[in-house]
Amino acid sequence: MTYLPGVHLKTGDFWIILKEAGLVIPELWKRLRAGCDATPQEVCAAAELARQVRLRDLSHLHAHFATSATTVARLAAHFAGITYSFTAHAKDIFHDSVCEKDLRRKLHDARATITVSDYNRTNLSDRFRDQPNRITRIYNGIDLEQFSYSAPAESEPVILAVGRLVEKKGFPDLIDACAHLEDRGRPFSCRIIGGGEDDAELRARITRLGLSESVHLLGPRPQPEVIAELRRAAVFAAPCVVGSDGNRDGLPTVLLEAMALGTPCISTDVTGIPEAIVHGRTGWIVPQHDPVALADALARLLDDPSLRRDLSRAARAHIERHFDIEKNAVLIRSVFDRCIEQARPRSRRVHGAGVPA
C-alpha cells in the first residue's frame, strides 16, 4: 500500500502502512518514538518514504522548506538509517508560526542545511548559536537560456509588478506611489500580475485613489505571458515588506528573472534582496513602506534611459555570476556528496523529498 500525503488517512490504513514499512525496515518499530511530535499523516508519509529508501538503496534525502516536507524527510531518514538535508527559504524561517524548537531539532539532525541568501544564513546562525555550523548559502538559480537578455529599449512608461496579492509583496505601497506619480502629472501605466487574498482590498484602494485608468490588476498569468510582460515593461517594481506576522520574501524568483531579461528593477532592503539588487549598480533600492521614495525612484528610472541601460547590463552580469541554475545545481550536488561521504560513502544516489508548503 502506497500512502500519498494529502490523501485522507484512515486509522486502519495507518497500521497497514507501518506494517508494510516494518517488513522492509525491522528496526522501524524501535525508531517510531522520533515521530511523537509529528502528525499521523507525516509519520505515514515518512514510513512509506523510508520503505522506498530501503527498497531503492538510497543514501541521502533532501527536502525543500523547513516545514512538513522536512519533518517527513527527517523522520524517513531516521527510520531508514540514512542522512538528510533541507533547504530553508523564507516563510519557513521567519513566519510567526515557526516553532523554534522544531526548527532547532531539524537543524541539529540534518547533515547539512542550505538556505537561499546570506541574510538567511546569518539569521539562522544568530538564532541557533548552539547548533553545528552546517548552514550553506546557495542562491536559487534560474535557467539563463529561458530568460535571455535584451537591453531595455525606448518604451512606453509601463511599470510591472508580479506576485501573490498578499501583505509581504507591498502592493499597497506601489499603488500609493502611483498616486504620487499621478499627482505629479506623470504619464504611466502600472500592471500588477497575480492573485491572492488581498485582491478586493487592492481594487478598492485603486478606486479610492482614482487610479482605475492607470493601475490594473491582471490576475494570475502563465509564465510565457509574464515573460512577455517583463520584456515590455520599462521598470519592474518589487516593493516587498516584512509582514505583520513576520512573513517576508527570501529573494523573489521573479525579481531574478526580470534582472536576467534586462528589465530595470526597483525593490526594497528586505532580507536577501540587496544581495541581488546592489543599489545604484544592478538596480534601485528604496526603504520599505515609503511610497514617496518609491515614486521618486520610479520617476527617475522612467526619465533616464541611460540609467536603465546601465542598470540592466550590470544586473544581467550579476545574475550570470551568482544565479545561474546550472552552476548552483553543481554546488547543491557537492553538498549532497559531502553528506554521503561523511556518513556512508558506498553510495552516491540522492533523492529529493518535499514540495513548497
Report pLDDT digits (tens) over 59-77: 999 999 999 999 999 999 9
Q: Phi, psi at residue 222, to the nearest 5°?
A: -65, 160
Mode of pairing for the β-strands spanning 83-88 and 60-64: parallel
Exposed/middle/buried for 324, CB within 10 Å: 0-12, 13-18, 19+?
middle
Task: Return the residue matching grid coordinates 534611459.
Answer: 305
**Given a cut of 80, is residue 110 above it in pLDDT?**
yes
Query: What CATH class does 158-322 carry?
Result: alpha beta
SS3 state at 157 = coil
Instruction: Output 356 or 190, whichever has higher pLDDT.
Output: 190
- Is 4 a residue whose pLDDT tops 70? no
State residue 140's pLDDT score: 95
**Residue-averaged pLDDT of the chain:** 93
- Residue 83 to residue 123: CA distance in whole angstroms: 24
Tell me the pLDDT band of 351, cut-offs 50, 70 and 90: low
Q: How far apart are CA 71 and CA 45, in angstroms?
A: 10
Residue environment code for 64-101, b if the CB has 16+ CB neighbours within 10 A, otherwise e: bbbbbbbbbbbbbbbbbebbbbbbbbbbbbbeeebeee
Whole-angstrom distance, CA of residue 181 vs CA of residue 54: 61
CATH classification for the domain delimited by 11-141+325-353, as one of 3.60.70.12, 3.30.590.10, 3.40.50.2000, 3.40.50.300: 3.40.50.2000
Length of the chain in residues, anyone?
357
* pLDDT classification of 8: cutoffs 50, 70, 90: low
Phi, psi of 52 (to 5 degrees): -65, -35
| Dist. CA 256–CA 232, nearest whole Å | 16
Contact 244, 167 (CB under 8 A): yes
Set of cell numbers at residue 331: 554546488
CA–CA separation, 298 vs 310, rounded Å?
Answer: 16
Single pTM value for the model: 0.89
For residue 13, name the pLDDT band (cuts at 50, 70, 90). confident
> Which of 226-240, 322-336, 341-355 shows the lowest mean pLDDT across its residues?
341-355
Q: Where are the alpha helices (DSSP H) in 88-170?
A: 91-94, 100-109, 118-127
Nearest 5°: CA angle at 54, between 52 and 60?
85
Answer whether 11-141+325-353 and 158-322 agree in fold: yes
| Segment among 74-83, 204-213, 344-353 with least mean pLDDT | 344-353
Average pLDDT over residues 18-22: 94
- C-alpha distances in Å from residue 122, one per residue of 76, 113, 127: 28, 13, 8
Q: Where are the domains of the chain?
A: 11-141+325-353, 158-322
Across the range 256-281, mean pLDDT stands at: 98
pLDDT (0 to 100) of residue 346: 47
Residue 259's pLDDT band (boundaries 50, 70, 90)? very high
Q: Per-residue pLDDT for 50 more than 80?
A: yes
- Residues β-bridged to residue 192: 161, 217
Are the C-beta atoms of 268 and 287 separated by less than 8 Å?
yes
Q: Coil, strand or helix: which one is 82? A: coil
Neighbours of 135 (CB within 10 A): 20
Residue 352 has pLDDT above 70, yes or no: no
